[in-house]
Amino acid sequence: MFDSFKNLANLPGMLSKARELQEKMKQMQAEAGNKQVSGDSGGGMVSAIVNGRLELVKLRIDKTRVDVNDTEMLEDLIVAAVNAAQVKAAEMMRGEMQRIAQEMGVPPGILG
């Protein structure tokens, strides 16, 4: 009967740790806009720069290597470059979250 009450003594510490984790995550999200990664497509014909919030910051098109009259190919290259940059940014932010969780002693996999 009293087994379910054993962990109640740990409740204040767990709540404090949860609040601290929440604050660190908020801080990381606020700083995410300052971190940038790039992705490219077509062997560098198009490159996209995305921030940690997955927002497109800059798009570069190498006009010397792209046929601007072939808009369908150019559109595909742009989409591919943006997607590549967003994947890198998401991986970067996932790594940051895992680092913070590890520093706080949160078991792996808890944050998804």
Say what the pTM is: 0.74
Find the CATH number of the domain harbouring 56: 3.30.1310.10
Q: CA end-to-end span of the chain, whole Å? A: 33
Q: How many degrees, rounded to 5, is the angle at CA 75 between CA 70 and CA 65?
A: 55
Structure tokens at 74: 């150019």
The vertex-64 CA angle with 59 and 70, nearest 5°, equals 75
Range(s) of the domain holding residue 82: 38-105
Q: Say if 98 falls within a structural domain.
A: yes
Mean pLDDT of 93-112: 77
Has residue 10 been placed in a domain? no
Rounded CA separation 87/81 (Å): 10
Q: Which amino acid is at 12?
A: P
**What does the pLDDT read at residue 7?**
64
Q: Which comes out higher in pLDDT, residue 24 or 52? A: 52
Q: pLDDT (tens digit, 9 = 90+) per residue, 25-37?
A: 788 877 888 999 9
Instruction: Pick 83 or 12 by higher pLDDT.
Output: 83
Going from the C-alpha of 36 to that of each of 31, 39, 46, the distances in angstroms are 11, 10, 16
**41-92 pLDDT tens trace:** 999 999 999 999 999 999 999 999 988 789 999 999 999 999 999 999 999 9
pLDDT at 11: 67
pLDDT score at 12: 75
Whether 24 maps to a domain, the answer reads: no
Note the pLDDT of residue 2: 55
- Look at the chain and report how many structural domains it folds into: 1
Q: Do the domain assignments include residue 99?
A: yes
Which residues, 6+ apart, have CB-to-CB distance to 45 below 8 Å? 61, 62, 65, 66, 77
Is 29 a domain residue? Answer: no
Which structure tokens are listed for 11? 């409740």
**The predicted structure's pLDDT at residue 112:** 57
Answer whether residue 5 is part of any domain: no
Q: Is residue 77 in some structural domain?
A: yes
Q: Look at residue 30 and tell me if it is in a domain.
A: no
Tokens of 5: 């009450």
